[in-house]
Structure 1
Amino acid sequence: MQTNPTYSSLVAVGDSFTEGMSDLLPDGSYRGWADLLAARMAARHSGFRYANLAVRGKLIGQIVDEQVEVAAAMRADVVTLVGGLNDTLRPKCDMGRVRGLLTEAVERLAPSCERLVLMRSPGRQGPVLERFRPRMEQLFACVDELAERHGAIVVDLYGAPSLADPRLWDVDRLHLTAEGHRRVAEAVWQALGYEPEDTEWRTPMAATAPPNWAGRRLADARFARQHLLPWIGRRLTGRSSGDGRPAKRPELLPYGDPAQPPGGTGPALPPEGSGELSGLS
């Protein structure tokens, strides 16, 4: 691994985690760890180029069909690929198919770039994801195997207890807050060989008094009403929060180019009462 490398381009591939939910900007768009990473890399390299093809709600098959070939053709120095987690959260999931599609994505992307970055995604503490955890760990075992086979970097966010803290997760309980995304950006930055800017990304947040019983029940009710029930409704109708939504940075252009602003495109939040959920994919 290089020390303080001079990568001149970055392409991010994936779903809502890489799109940047729920790191909300004042204009209603999302930023996220990939944008933060690109900003740091751009500060080190004049003319740095960045594309973010990730779209919320995408399954690994959609990522392969819609993003992988586009990313490979860009021939970027660094490509990040995070996908498959949305598949593991579906009631029915063929993990053999997921592994096969992830393998296809890695085999196509690895020869197209100087450095391919894969991740073991962070996991939140609490009961919501416990039933899906075995599938997640199967996915991460596949990530490890593919990285070893193709010389990719694995950023182990799942193995960082600091990122499991519920305070680093948004109210939808599936997406990181701004502070969570900042920590992920630092983790990838260090994995690429840059000098740490924050050595504390693995450090747990300072302890605070937990919410009382009434506060927890109120939060649970709000979560079910605003996030869980709409998510179930979309599963039953075959819809996704990313349907019809374009990538926020679809072209590999200089970072800061007015044609592609650093943040996302368009409002991140649905109209009040729309029933569309921007959190759960």
Structure 2
Amino acid sequence: MPDHSENFTIASYAAIGDSFTEGLNDPLPGGEGFYGWADRLAGLLAAGSAAPGDFRYANLAVRGRLIDQIVEEQVPRVLELRPDLVSFCAGGNDVLRPGSDPDVTAETFEAAVRQLRTAARTVLICTGFDTRDMPVLRRLRGKIATYNAHLRAIADRNGCAVLDLWSLRSVQDRRAWSEDRLHLSPEGHQRVALRAAQVLGLPVEQDPEAAWPPAAWHSPAELRRENIQWAREHLVPWVGRRLRGESSGDNVEPKRPDLLPL
């Protein structure tokens, strides 16, 4: 593995991917748009830079994007921008689709990594989360683990840094996730950003694995009611969009298409 201990001097960062990197469910003050772990990481990198005012950041991620769309729409833009760092988190939406093959998705991912390595000094890739305790998604745990094994091998072959979300235990807490149980909560995004900074060699003051405060107790009946409400408000619409071939990212544009100062 390459040595990333000096990467806190990074002066430019571009993030590509889907809703995870766009930052869904981490609302900005006033509710206009989203923040997210990549934006939070950019703030940490800028603060740790020798010249914070010169740090530049782009976020090209768009919710709902499949890996082929990310490769077609976002990778070429990174090749133009040529940032010091690019984070590439993709394939999750593909792996969640019935009948998809994580082996094929991984081949597409690696081809894109090879392109990104020609444009960025450091490529940071993300594994999938451990879905053991997640309703519905726990059924796909083996498929996600297979894809993760591919991603770690791709990182080894291509000299990438790895943000291992499977091993980040703090995000296995329910409070790391928003009401839809598909996207992180603001605190979940913060935990991921802190861990990403550590991977890149940037000292952080907070521990991404810090213990959560004691959780409120819920009776089995309350948990059942919560699960029913979640299925009605979030799961059924999510499944319906997939059956109709729709995406939450239809007509959505990247929030930061250019490398600009924070």
Query: Normalising to structure 2: TM-score of the pair?
Result: 0.92
Greater shift, 33-42 or 207-216, is seen at: 207-216
What is the CA distance between 1:209 and its match in structure 2? 3.9
What per-residue deviation string (whole Å, max 9, x for no partner) do you get for residues 107-147 of structure 1? 11012111110111333423321111111111111110111
The aligned runs of 1:153-172 (5 Å cut-off) are: 153-172=161-180
Contact 2:37 2:189 (C-alpha < 8 Å) held by counterparts: yes
2:41 to 34, 37, 57: 37
What is the CA distance between 1:4 and its match in structure 2? 6.5
Contact 1:3 1:195 (C-alpha < 8 Å) held by counterparts: no
**Residue in structure 1 matched with residue 137 of structure 2 by the alignment:** 129
Segments of 5+ residues of structure 1 without an aligned counterpart are 256-281
Aligned-residue CA RMSD in angstroms? 1.4
- The letter of the residue matching 1:227 is H
What is the CA distance between 1:203 and its match in structure 2? 2.9
The aligned runs of 1:165-184 (5 Å cut-off) are: 165-184=173-192
1:231 to 238, 243, 246: 238
Q: Distance in 1 between matches of 2:242 and 2:7?
A: 44
Q: Distance in 1 between matches of 2:185 and 2:70?
A: 24
1:79 to 82, 86, 104: 86
Between the two proteins, the alignment pairs up a number of residues equal to: 254
What is the CA distance between 1:175 and its match in structure 2? 0.8
Contact 2:103 2:147 (C-alpha < 8 Å) held by counterparts: no
**Residue in structure 2 matched with residue 115 of structure 1 by the alignment:** 122
Q: Distance in 2 between matches of 1:192 and 1:13?
A: 17
Q: Distance in 2 between matches of 1:210 and 1:60?
A: 40
Change (3 A) 1:167 1:22: same
**Residue in structure 2 matched with residue 185 of structure 1 by the alignment:** 193
Q: Distance in 2 between matches of 1:85 and 1:206?
A: 30
**Residue in structure 2 matched with residue 100 of structure 1 by the alignment:** 107
Q: Distance in 2 between matches of 1:197 and 1:35?
A: 17
Segments of 5+ residues of structure 2 without an aligned counterpart are none
Contact 2:20 2:183 (C-alpha < 8 Å) held by counterparts: yes
Q: Distance in 2 between matches of 1:26 and 1:215?
A: 31
- The letter of the residue matching 1:41 is L
- The letter of the residue matching 2:179 is V
Query: Normalising to structure 1: TM-score of the pair?
Result: 0.86
Alignment pair present for 1:52 and 2:59: yes
What is the CA distance between 1:25 and its match in structure 2? 2.0
Q: Distance in 2 between matches of 1:247 and 1:136?
A: 26
Q: Distance in 2 between matches of 1:142 and 1:214?
A: 40
Partner SS for 1:239: coil
Partner SS for 1:80: strand
Contact 1:79 1:113 (C-alpha < 8 Å) held by counterparts: yes
What is the CA distance between 1:207 and its match in structure 2? 3.1
* Larger helix percent: 2
Partner SS for 2:104: helix
Partner SS for 2:204: coil
**Residue in structure 1 matched with residue 18 of structure 2 by the alignment:** 15
Q: Distance in 1 between matches of 2:196 and 2:126?
A: 9
What per-residue deviation string (whole Å, max 9, x for no partner) do you get for residues 83-118 of structure 1? 101111112212232111101111110121111101
What per-residue deviation string (whole Å, max 9, x for no partner) do you get for residues 225-260 of structure 1? 1111111111111000001100000111222xxxxx
Runs (4+) of structure 1 exceeding 4 A deviation are none
Contact 2:61 2:254 (C-alpha < 8 Å) held by counterparts: yes
Greater shift, 135-144 or 121-130, is seen at: 121-130
**Residue in structure 1 matched with residue 229 of structure 2 by the alignment:** 222
The aligned runs of 1:135-146 (5 Å cut-off) are: 135-146=143-154
